Amino acid sequence: MTRILIVEDEPKLAALEADYLKSEGYETHVIANGLEAAPWVRANVPDLILLDLMLPGRDGLDICRDIRTFSDVPIVMVTAKVEEIDRLVGLDLGADDYVCKPFSIRELVARVRAILRRGRAPIAGLTLNDEKHEAQLDGRTLDLTPVEFRLLRALASAPGRVFPRDRLLEQLYEDHRVVTDRTVDAHVKNLRRKLGEARPGEDLVRSIYGVGYKLEL
Amino acid sequence: MTRILIVEDEPKLAALEADYLKSEGYETHVIANGLEAAPWVRANVPDLILLDLMLPGRDGLDICRDIRTFSDVPIVMVTAKVEEIDRLVGLDLGADDYVCKPFSIRELVARVRAILRRGRAPIAGLTLNDEKHEAQLDGRTLDLTPVEFRLLRALASAPGRVFPRDRLLEQLYEDHRVVTDRTVDAHVKNLRRKLGEARPGEDLVRSIYGVGYKLEL
DNA sequence: ACACAATGTGAATTCTTCGTGAATACCGCC
DNA sequence: GGCGGTATTCACGAAGAATTCACATTGTGT
């Protein structure tokens, strides 16, 4: 469960944000007093923080700086004035995004989602070692054949990008031998099986109907 | 398939560019006469345009301005003189990048790739990424079939503009198969459903009675 | 030369998507 | 309000893709 900390002294706004985020499947916790924020983060380590700039007890800027001394958790700053934003960005507090009131809840949620997604960018847990021709997923070494390794490497070279079968075949062989598209499928099947053994219940290789295969982020 | 229009009167250069881009997996179309460029774009809606500045028939600047009146397709301007570039950038024609001759083909291809990768956000909250074959609305990934994706891309290529059904059908298929107008409706329906799941209570695809469909701004 | 793993292929099977026509609801105009 | 044309929706058959499998072939090490 993804946990979001909302630091906001206006109760109605905090409740609204919490509602929307909950309906998106996030777990939320609201703190109204600036003094409590940093200690709570230290103790509970949320996945993202919505931080209001104007707060009783302690200033948002201050809190942000403080949190950054001990954590890289994504922070979204919420400010009341548009003009503030430029100044804030200039200060380089380490916040990940800025939203100014009045904002649309939808926009806020979209940004939160975008930032959280960006977080787990490099295919979590996948390591490719070219010299040793060895691949690891979540620390577990995968027992891949040469072709399977090259296939995985090709897909991993641009995670998320769709590779048509013929493009993959080019990547698979130096020479320009002519092989059927089915070959790709066969190897994908085996690759999937081995990836699945290392991380059950999740298919990292996704087929895009009518196009090709991609590695899921 | 990502389609690139090359507007270039020097046949050898055009062929060279086309070759390299094809080897990168892009589909290319070459137009030598400036007069034909804008109409072709209107009819075929490529994914990117390489536009030479000096052309017979009509000036590149002029074409660029014209195209921008009806489309947000990425445009890369190709100029003969370095000094031109500053002036061009100042004019703010809406081109996405500038390359000056003599350029290395590799550099050109790299820029094209970069521009296409960064995707486009034609309307608020909607992102289309061709190479990932992925569409996002408010950060939510839409699970689209190939035809739905192309349909959305076509509509998004000129947000607000109305596309007649037959125009959309041209965009939907490489080959010129003959299909009923109802087909468009069916796909629009599915597209609407999926867009609606991502952003409930709002219909981004609007039907213009007796004319066609458009994407609501 | 032998055993064994890896590879490529075509065919069988299972799934998805596509296109269509018919039923229904809607729009604009007389 | 009624009428002709238009849009929306639905379900189903067909086409096309993906997945899987068994097997022939090739390659590797012993």
For chain A, 217 residues long, give each residue's pLDDT as a single digit of tens: 788 999 998 888 898 889 989 988 899 999 999 889 988 988 888 889 999 888 887 888 888 888 887 777 888 888 776 655 555 554 556 677 777 666 778 778 888 887 776 654 446 678 888 777 888 888 788 889 999 999 999 998 888 889 999 999 988 887 777 889 999 999 999 999 999 988 887 889 999 999 999 998 7
Q: Are A102 and A109 in contact (CB under 8 A)?
A: no
Q: Give residue B163's region: left, alpha or beta (phi > 0; psi -120 to 50).
A: beta
Q: Is B131 on the interface with A (CB under 8 A)?
A: yes
- Strand C closer than 7 A to residue B209 Cβ: yes
User: Which pLDDT value is given to residue B90?
Assistant: 46
Q: What is the rounded average pLDDT of the residues B105-117? A: 78
The answer, for A82 touching chain B at a CB cutoff of 8 Å, is: no
- Coil, strand or helix at B103: coil
For residue A216, the chain B residue with the least C-alpha distance is B132
B210: nearest nucleotide, CA–C1' criterion: D6
Q: Which residues contact A35 (CB under 8 A, 6 or more apart)?
A: A57, A58
Strand partners, A128: A135
Q: Among partner residues A111, A113, A167, which is closest to B25 by beta-carbon distance?
A: A167
Which residues from A are below 8 Å from B145, CB to CB?
209-210
Q: Is the CB of A82 under 7 A from strand C?
A: no
Mean pLDDT of B179-203: 92
* B14-45: pLDDT as tens digits: 998 899 888 887 889 999 998 999 888 887 77
Helix axes B181-198, B146-156, angle to 10 degrees: 80
Residues 158-187 on chain A lying near strand C, CB distance under 7 A: 172-173, 177-180, 182-183, 186-187
Mean pLDDT of chain B: 84
Nucleotide nearest to A146 (CA to C1'): C6
pLDDT band at B122 (very low <50, low <70, confident <90, very high): low
Task: Verify whether the Cβ–Cβ distance B133 to A158 is below 8 Å.
Answer: no
- pTM score, two decimals? 0.65
Distance to chain B for A79, nearest Cα, Å: 21
Sheet strands side by side (includes A126-129): A126-129, A134-137, A140-142
pLDDT at B135: 92
pLDDT value of residue A90: 46
Tell me the C-alpha to C-alpha distance, in Å, between residue A21 and each of A3, A6, A28, B138.
Answer: 10, 10, 7, 14
**Tokens representing A177?**
């031998």
Kindly give the pairing relationship between strand B97-100 and strand B75-79.
parallel
Of chain B, the percentage scoring pLDDT greater than 70 comes to 88
- Asked if B53 and B98 touch (Cβ cutoff 8 Å), the reply is no
Contact indicator for A21, A28 with CB cutoff of 8 Å: yes
Q: Residue B5: what are its φ and ψ, rounded to 5°?
A: -95, 130
Q: Which of B22, B1, B24, B15 is nearest to B172 (CA)?
A: B1
